[in-house]
Amino acid sequence: MSTAWRNWAGTESAVAAAVVRPRDVAEISKAVTGAAETGKTVRARGSGHSFTAVGAAHGIALDLTGWTGIVSADTGTGQVTVRSGTTLRALNGALDRLGLAMTNLGDIDAQTISGAISTGTHGTGATFGGIATQVTGLELVLADGSVVSCSATERPELFAAARVGLGALGVISTVTLRTEPSFVLKAEERPEPLDAVLDALERHWESNDHFEFYYFPYGRNALTKRNNRLMAGAEPAPLGPVRRFYEYEVMENLALGTLAKIGRRIPPLVRPFGRLSSVALSARSYSDISHRVFVTHRRVHFVESEFAVPREALRDVLAELRAGIAKLADPIMLPVEVRFAAPDDIWLSTAYDRESAYVAIHQYVGMPFRAYFDLFESIAGAVGGRPHWGKMHTADAETLRTRYPRFDDFARVRAEVDPEGRFSNPYIDRVLGPAAGSAG
């Protein structure tokens, strides 16, 4: 098994000292204690979909692809326990077969369930939280090899920390989720003038279950997406296979990928391409089982940065970003995306204790992005923006402590369960600070 690792975007890589592929909790525990005996760190690799090095393992790498599937499911209560290496794609399929569904999802399903919650993966919806808010219990293997459970009533501080724990508190072995009966979403996607969308933001997020929009930096239009629940028992009316293939594979993947490759080779064409893409956005309306609406398959590779900002600051953030993009020397090929989330009580959640808007920026792989990302980070940082743990940013522990009211509480729990930094890596040390006694 290869010790070399590279993430999906190609932005991070690492070489582990060894790779272990556990098949049960006992083998996870053995790998953790074995790392301690040799003075090494240990990390679960996940699917590598983060743009940061949060999943990089330089000591012992845990490959959890052999530790997947649903452990138990109660279709009456909706409580489902799943092994931590299960991808969201596999989980959605398994829940579908049980007549169940996740309450909310992001638009990517390649992540493992443990990686998704650990980095704060989220979808959109002003009254909905991220995936971690659907967690009701966790089982973790701690640095001493012990296996512990936590929930709102059992070790509640560990639970408040570990739901978005960056893998810094232990190896998650199982996740217990609060799911609900399968439901159908009505999707309405259409181009609208960006300025008109911004003028009516409150109405958009208040009147839809799940609202988001994206826009190309040099165009005048935004593509708005409204996903709303239909009554129980509603029959899906999905896009036909030909229309779906054309819209998603041809237009959103093949055509965009082709334009991006040309733009990377000939940068002066990027701005007219952006205006063309804005005009070419098309309207579509359909309904389908929830996860088929939430999730979009992306084949165009990119780099991404995303910050959660206070919802009331969104207009100002976007105004500054649009003005700043116009002054950049290097053009921006890919869109800006805006989503929304409700406040939650998870200590390192980007939506902790505030109504949030998420702004995500993208650049095609191989094109200059540093000045753009620095501009965005300075704008978001000025309003207390919190970077997505799995997307590119330069913030360190000193900065992040000022943006998370429970940052020091998290550090205290971390010191209790992993005093030697057994689950650290350079990224964890940067954003959380090094543990008191660092492992090698």
Q: Dump pLDDT digits (tens) for 72-91.
A: 999 999 999 999 999 999 99
Quick one: pLDDT band at residue 438, thresholds 50, 70, 90? low
206, exposed or middle or buried, with CB in 10 Å at 0-12, 13-18, 19+? Answer: exposed
pLDDT by residue (tens digit) across 187-245? Answer: 999 999 999 999 999 999 999 999 999 999 999 999 999 999 999 989 999 988 878 87
CATH superfamily of the 184-387 domain: FAD-linked oxidases, C-terminal domain (3.40.462.10)
At residue 440, the pLDDT reads 47
Banded pLDDT at 437 (limits 50, 70, 90): low
pLDDT tens per residue across span 316-370 = 999 999 999 999 999 999 999 999 999 999 999 999 999 999 999 999 999 999 9
Query: Using alpha carbons only, what angle is made at residue 288 by residues 301 and 302, rounded to the nearest 5 degrees?
Result: 10
Question: Could you tell me which residues come within 8 angstroms of residue 216 by beta carbon, excluding any fewer than 6 positions away?
Answer: 274, 275, 277, 278, 334, 335
Query: How far is the C-alpha of 398 from the C-alpha of 288, rounded, in Å?
Result: 45
- The pLDDT of residue 127: 97
Closest CA to 398 of 434, 436, 440, 354: 434
What are the Cα distances from residue 52, in Å, to 11, 146, 194, 434?
7, 29, 30, 17
pLDDT digits (tens, 9 = 90+) for 114-162: 999 999 999 999 999 999 999 999 999 999 999 999 999 999 999 999 9
pLDDT in tens, 30-39: 999 999 999 9
Residue with tokens 């839809």: 208
pLDDT tops 90 at residue 246: no
- Assign 254 a pLDDT band (cuts: 50, 70, 90): confident
**Global pTM value:** 0.96
Q: What is the CA radius of gyration of the chain?
A: 21
State the virtual CA torsion across 382, 385, 391, 396 in degrees, nearest 10. 70
Residue 266: pLDDT over 70: yes
> Does residue 439 register a pLDDT over 60?
no
CA gap 136, 175 in Å, rounded: 8
- pLDDT value at 247 more than 80: no
- Say how far apart CA 65 and CA 343 lie, in whole Å: 33
pLDDT tens for each residue of 361-413: 999 999 999 999 999 999 999 999 999 999 999 999 999 999 999 999 999 99
Q: What is the DSSP string of 1-14?
A: ---EEE-TTSS-EE
SS3 at position 139? strand
- For residue 405, what are its two tokens? 């009211």
Count of Cβ atoms closer than 10 Å to residue 200 Cβ: 11
Residue tagged 């976007």 (tokens)? 318
36's enclosing H/E stretch is helix 25-37
- Nearest CA among 235, 292, 284, 272 for reference residue 96: 292
Q: What's residue 408's pLDDT? A: 97
Q: Are 67 and 24 in contact (CB under 8 A)?
A: yes
pLDDT of residue 277: 84
Assign residue 158 a region (left: φ > 0; alpha: ψ between -120 and 50; beta: otherwise).
Answer: alpha
